[in-house]
Copies of this chain bind each other. A is one copy, B any other.
Amino acid sequence: MGGDRGPAVVLRGALQALEADPDLRLTLVGPAEEVEPFAAVHDRATAQVATEVIEMGEHPAGAVRAKKDSSIVVGCRLVKEGAADGFFSAGSTGACLAAATLVVGRIKGVKRPALGQVIPAWARPTLLIDVGANADCKPEYLVQFAQMGEVYMNAIMGVERPKVGLLNIGEEDTKGDLFAQEAHRLLSETVPAFAGNCEGGDLMAGDFDVVVTDGFTGNVCLKTIEGTAKTLMRNLKAALMSTALSKVGALLVKGPLGALKEKMSPDTYGGTPLLGVKGAVIVGHGSSNETAVKNGIAVAAATVRAHVPEVIAERVAAAPASASAAVGAEEEGEAAASDAR
């Protein structure tokens, strides 16, 4: 159904994805009048009709339970049943999280699946995790976020030894609120790739490959980056249009500025992987355009081909005893009941 911009954007993005990747096969999930005509004329596309739609404002877990024939639930069920290897949606993020957790299911041993967003930092792309799947976290969850993030950056971005940081408010080990201090201790003990604190100001410098944080701070941070970039570009545009001379200059710098805008655009990274579920689930921005859809599908395919869920399962199972103890069994099952937002 395609998020804020409707299904046509998804179909155009799907077409681009098929053209870019000759080994890709797609199942389009949605209303018959949208998916069937597309599948009829594309060799590697099939249609799966879903009659219901989860709206952006609906209560995620409630909607997933009530609307069994919505495109999000049906898509996740295809993954669960093995009819699909991965799932991309630009619909309600909360509903995608809820369906991925409730239908696809968590990887054994994973306490909380988390959203990892690749951000265009200066020195290298950086995975910020969690950017909103878990508003209320315990410090020990961040150990698994680090492990899952490492697997993703290694498998998808080709980073050999990902360097892990903790989003915090000071560089020294003892800085931060009580939550961050405890997370720092656990990460130091159990994550060999942990290299210390990352301040908000260092995030966009790209000093780390993976930066872990709770879903509240991560979401505020991600949205702040996007909002700041947007406001700066708006200011920049106004500055370039402010004098006759600068307008001429603006014409001359148009090309490089367009490339910069593309580099900084959330569409370039095409969606946010939900790590920790038994399948490649990629959640697109609600405002995804066709490039974002194409890239989101490509990320889903890459996640499948690199066996990210399987590697995460191995990694979590092999985690040192202290980490396993910290994320002990008493809470198993709680996550499925929590309300993804």
User: Could you tell me which A residues sit within 8 Å of B by CB distance?
Assistant: 57, 121-122, 132, 135-136, 167-170, 172, 175-180, 199-205, 213-217, 219-236, 239-240, 242-243, 245-246, 248-253, 255-257, 259-260, 263-264, 341
B200 contacts A221, CB within 8 Å?
A: yes
| A200 CB, nearest partner CB in chain B, Å | 3
Q: Given the complex, which residues of B lie within 8 Å of A224, measured CB to CB?
A: 200-201, 203-204, 221, 224-225, 228
Check if A220 sits within 8 Å of B223, measured CB to CB. Answer: no
Indicate if the CB atoms of B228 and A243 lie closer than 8 Å: no
B residues in contact with A236, CB < 8 Å: 236, 257, 260
B227 & A204 in contact (Cβ 8 Å cutoff): yes
Q: How many whole Å from A296's CB to the nearest CB in chain B?
A: 19
Q: 9 nearest interchain CB pairs?
A: A249-B252, A200-B223, A239-B256, A201-B223, A201-B227, A249-B253, A200-B224, A135-B177, A204-B231
Q: Which residues of B contact A219 (CB under 8 A)?
A: 169, 200
- Point out the residues of chain B lying under 8 angstroms from A250, CB to CB: 249, 253
Q: Is the CB of A169 within 8 A of B216?
A: yes
Are the CB atoms of B228 and A225 closer together than 8 Å? yes
CA distance A325 to B137 in the complex (A): 29
CB distance from A249 to the nearest CB of B (A): 3
* Contact partner, A252, options B225, B230, B246, Cβ 8 Å: B246
Given contacts A223-B200, A239-B253, A246-B256, contact A232 B229 (CB under 8 A): yes
Determine whether the beta carbon of A169 is less than 8 Å from that of B204.
Answer: no
Tell me the number of copies of this protein.
Answer: 2
Neighbouring B residues of A233 by C-beta, 8 Å: 232
What are 30 sample pairs from A and B whose C-beta atoms fall under 8 A apart? A122-B235, A135-B178, A168-B220, A169-B215, A169-B219, A169-B341, A176-B216, A177-B215, A200-B219, A200-B220, A200-B224, A200-B227, A201-B227, A202-B227, A203-B227, A205-B231, A228-B229, A235-B260, A235-B264, A236-B236, A236-B260, A239-B253, A239-B256, A240-B256, A243-B256, A246-B253, A249-B249, A249-B252, A250-B253, A253-B253
Given A177-B216, A213-B220, A243-B255, 10 new contacts (CB under 8 A): A170-B341, A177-B215, A200-B220, A200-B227, A201-B224, A224-B224, A235-B263, A239-B256, A239-B260, A252-B252
Q: Which chain B residues border A168 with CB–CB below 8 Å? A: 220
User: Known contacts A226-B201, A243-B255: does B231 contact A232 (CB below 8 Å)?
Assistant: no
Contacts of A341 in B (CB 8 A): 169-170, 175
Nearest CB in chain B to that of A167: its residue = B220
State A333–B322 Cα separation when bound (angstroms).
Answer: 38
